[in-house]
Chain A
Amino acid sequence: MNGTIRIEKERCKGCALCVEFCPRDCISLSEELNPKGYFVAAFSDGEQCNACRNCALMCPDACIEVSTA
C-alpha cells in the first residue's frame, strides 16, 4: 500500500519526532523556515511511505495528515 502525508508547515515546530519515528526514513528536517522561525519537516520519499501513521501519532502539533494513495 502506498501512502502519502501532508505537513501543515505553518504549524510545524521542527521537533523532528516524525523524522525519528518514521520507520522508512520518509521525512526529514528541511532548510525551509516557517514564520515561527522553525525548520519545518518535509516529506522526502513518497515511494517508501506505507501510511503507517507513526508520524501523525507522534506529531505534538497535530499538523500531519496521512492518506493512502
Chain B
Amino acid sequence: MKQLMSGNVALGEAAVLSGCTHYFGYPITPQNEITEYMARRLPAAGGVFIQSESEIAAINMVLGAAAAGARAMTSSSGPGMSLKQEGISYLVADELPGVIVNVVRGGPGMGSIAGAQSDYFQATRGGGHGDYRTVVLAPASVQELTEIVPLAFELADRYRNPVIILADGILGQMMEPVDFDGLVRPADVDKPWVLTGARGRPPQSIYSLIFDTKLQEEKNWKLQRKFRLIEQNEVRYETHLVDDADMVVVAYGIGARIAKGAIKRLRDEGKKVGLLRPITLWPFPAPALQELVKATSDFFVFEMSAGQMVEDVRLALEGRGRIHFYGRPGGVAPMPVELYRIIARHYAQAQAAGGRGRR
C-alpha cells in the first residue's frame, strides 16, 4: 500500500522492518527526522533507542551493540560523520557489521544544511585511518530506500563490515509515495564471533591492536581479500537510455534525479544522451563504464560537489573517452533545465569534435 513519506522517515521505517533493533544517534540537520522517528518507532517495536551525547558516542555504541550481536544503526551528516571516522575504522578492523547513514549536507566545516554530494571522497576513500573500504550505497528515491536499507543490513552481516548509506538532504526531506510491501527482512546469519559471555564455549575477544607487523600485514591482506570479494559480487548500478547514447551522463543519488530530468529534455530534441547511475559508489561500477566506453566516447559527470566522483570515472576509463564535468558545491541544486542547457552545450562540442565510436 503506497503512502506519502519523507526519505528520512522512510529510511527509519525501512531499518526497523529490516531487523534493526538498536539505533544510536545525535541530532544534526538535515537528518533529525531519522533520529526522532527511531525514538518513537524503535521502542514500540521492542528495540532500543538512545540519543547519544555525540556522534562519537553513537558510533561506539553501534560497535558495542554489533559486538553483542545486534543489527545496529546510526545516522548523521557533515561534521558528525567526520566524528564517526575513528569508529568506522574500528568497525572494519574488528570485522563488525553496522549501518551508518550520512544525509549529506554542504561542507566543508559547518557548511550548509542543504542537501549536497560533498562527502563522496569521505565515504568511498574511507575517512578514517588505515587501509580499508566500506560498502557505500547511494539511493536516488524514497522508494529505493526500501531496497537499499535492507541490502545495507544484509551486506553488513554477510561481510562483517560497516556499510554506509550515502543519502542527502534533499532525499531526506522530500516526500514521495513509498510502498514497503516488497521489503524483505534479511535473514539472520550465524554469528559465532559475538560476545555473549563465555557460556558453553571458551572465552573469545574482539580487538584490532596487533603489535607484530607481520601479523598486522596478514590481517590487512585478509581484509583486502574480503574487499576484493565485495568488488566482484556487489557492484550495483542502473543504466538509462545508454544503448544508442553518444554521451552518457554519470550521476548518483539526487544528482541522477536532476540528470534524468535534463536527459528527458535532451532526448525530446533528438540528442542521444543516456545515464549511468552508480548505486554502489564503492565498489564503483568501473566495469560498466569500461563496457560503455567501447561504444560511447563522451561521459558527462554531474555531481553536487566540486568534483569527487569524477575522479573514479577517470580512473575507470583509464584515459579512454572524453570526460566532461559539471559540479555545484555547497548545497546548490541545479534545476533540470539548467543542467540540460549545460549538457546540451557539451553535447554540441562533442559532436563537433567527432562523436560515437571514437576512442
- A and B in contact, CB less than 8 Å: no
| Chain A residues near B (Cβ < 8 Å) | none
| Chain B residues near A (Cβ < 8 Å) | none
